[in-house]
Amino acid sequence: MQLNFSSCVILFMQRKFLTNLLLFIGLNLLIKPFWIFGIDRSVQNTVGENAYGIYFALFNFTLLFNMLLDFGITSLNNRNVARTSDFLHENFSRMFALRIILGFFYIVCVLIAGWFARYYVHFELLFFLIINQILAGFILFLRSNVSGLLLFKTDSFLSVIDRLIMIICCSMLLWGGVTKSPFQIEWFVYVQTFAYLATIFIALPIVLSHTRLKTPFVDYTYFKNILKQSLPFALLALFTGLHNRIDAVFLERLLGDNGANQAGIYASAFRLLDAAMIIAYLFSVLLLPMFSNMIAKKEPIVHLLKTAFSLIFIYGTVVATASFFYSYPLMNLLYHNHVEQSSEVFAVLMLSIAPLSATYIFGSLLTAKGELKKLIIIALFAIVINTGLNLLLIFKWQAVGSAVAGLCAQLFIITAEIILAVRLFKIKVPKTYCFKLIGFIILAVFAGKISLNLPFVWHKQFLLMLLFLGLASIALEWRQVNYLIMKIKENKNN
């Protein structure tokens, strides 16, 4: 009887975990792509490349300093709340106070940096984007408490509620006929501010229902200990953000009168890369605790690593190939202006999805191993490569030059991380496995070229190529999918 009861409990936990996982993935795949393609894209088409390019550069500029705002305490808080039931009661007020202090520090630093970057001509827009980053960071902090309390369904809805509010408000402003004036980029930023505030008003009572908010108080010893623990994570986030987000700032600042236009063109291609990376991000959310658990128990990680890498490599290869061969029709379908140049940027930029996706796998593994110092060094070299190549290529090739610089930086990162992981975990890579991956790349390129010669309109050619590569992927890696599902269940049970 006891055995049957235990089996029922395990089955219930598996079902609960998979239900929550599917809910989280489903909501994100439903809401966020619609936000990216339905709203964000429409805003750019409405306001034009120049106005959106300025917004995109300022947005990325505020992201460069996000480490000062969070300092890694969100991840630290999530882990501590999950591990210790009393952590939320004892530390929420002090964490709240620390967030406020870091918020003021962030405002001062970004405004000073913005002054030196001559962004004072766009002060209002910059200021609201700074406020939005603070509000978004506070939402992540509140969600770290919710997920730490194992309220996964609640956290799933909180992860998309801000985007849902933005979709509703922007849809009314874009297509609802509620205003006689043409849509302004400033409205886009104000809607984000409103959505973030509304989400906080929803999330804060949920957290307070599980604790009580004492008057936020300053405890310098506590702050010092927290910041010391989170410093490596903060530095890694800073350097990763720099080499991922600095391209748009370079374009807008270095190319003079044409800078905003080039930043807008770059944004039109980057938007699709950002959407495609949702899958890789969800992989990392799953893999980090799984790798951590296996390393702590001294279990071999090779099989899980191979499975995750194989799946994400195939995904990245298919997306990169499809984007490269069909760059012009895809961009022509989505945008109104500068299609020729934006398609060139898109073709190059999307080649980086394979190495970028793979870094989520190996980055999660090396983070779980505690190799943050080495990851920071890799990120520093990536910044040097990205900055150097931008300065060499940006004046000649403009947005395409930034895309090439980003691709080279990502190739360096994944190469360095693979070499490091192979050495640390003494992984032996069979030649047959390498040939298998190379063979799939050749197959994808062959399928892309053949599809262009089929006697159909482009979207039918595109879908047939995806269908063929999808079936080939399933045939190639079906066992790997089953293994990953098995490990997810094991990790939940543990």
d(CA 403, CA 326): 17
Q: Which amino acid is at 339?
A: V
Q: At what angle do helices 339-349 and 327-334 cross, to 10 degrees?
A: 120
Whole-model pTM: value is 0.78
Kindly tell me the burial class for residue 490, based on how many C-beta atoms sit within 10 Å of its own C-beta (0-12, 13-18, 19 or more).
Answer: middle
d(CA 285, CA 273): 19
322, 326, 332, 333 alpha-carbon torsion, rounded to 10°: -50
The confidence score (pLDDT) of residue 294 equals: 74
Contacts of 472 (CB under 8 A, 6+ apart): 440, 443
**CB atoms inside a 10 Å sphere around CB 227:** 16
Rg of the chain in Å (alpha carbons):
23
pLDDT in tens, 454-473: 888 888 999 999 898 888 87
pLDDT in tens, 264-320: 889 888 888 888 887 777 777 667 767 776 777 777 878 778 878 888 888 899 999
Contacts of 5 (CB under 8 A, 6+ apart): none
H or E element, residue 440: helix 431-452
The answer to whether residues 140 and 74 touch, using CB atoms and an 8 Å cutoff, is yes
The confidence score (pLDDT) of residue 3 equals: 45
d(CA 185, CA 125): 9
The confidence score (pLDDT) of residue 6 equals: 46
The confidence score (pLDDT) of residue 31 equals: 81
d(CA 74, CA 138): 9
Tell the residue number behind the tokens 């029922």, with chain if given.
Answer: 8
Q: Can you say how many angstroms the Cα of residue 459 is from the centroid of all Cα atoms in its chain?
A: 28
Number of H helices, E strands in the chain: 19, 0
The confidence score (pLDDT) of residue 10 equals: 42
The confidence score (pLDDT) of residue 2 equals: 46
Q: Which amino acid is at 105?
A: F
The confidence score (pLDDT) of residue 55 equals: 92
Q: At what angle do helices 220-254 and 259-296 cross, to 10 degrees?
A: 140
Instruction: Find, among 414, 360, 358, 408, the residue nearest to 387 by Cα.
Output: 408
d(CA 366, CA 362): 6
The answer to whether residues 177 and 124 touch, using CB atoms and an 8 Å cutoff, is no
Q: Specify the DSSP class assigned to residue 39.
A: I
Q: For the chain, list residues with pLDDT below 70.
A: 1-25, 75-86, 89-90, 147-148, 150, 152, 212-216, 285-286, 289, 293, 476-494
* Residue 370 backbone class (left: φ over 0; alpha: ψ -120 to 50; beta: rest): left
DSSP annotation string for 41-85: HHHHHHH-HHHHHHHHHHHHHHHTTHHHHHTTHHHHHHHHHHH-T
387, 391, 394, 395 alpha-carbon torsion, rounded to 10°: 170
pLDDT in tens, 247-269: 888 888 888 888 888 988 898 88
d(CA 96, CA 102): 10
The answer to whether residues 264 and 48 touch, using CB atoms and an 8 Å cutoff, is yes
Kindly tell me the burial class for residue 122, based on how many C-beta atoms sit within 10 Å of its own C-beta (0-12, 13-18, 19 or more).
Answer: middle
- Cα(first)–Cα(last) distance of the chain, in Å? 22
d(CA 27, CA 156): 7
HEC readout, 209-225: CCCCCCCCCCCHHHHHH
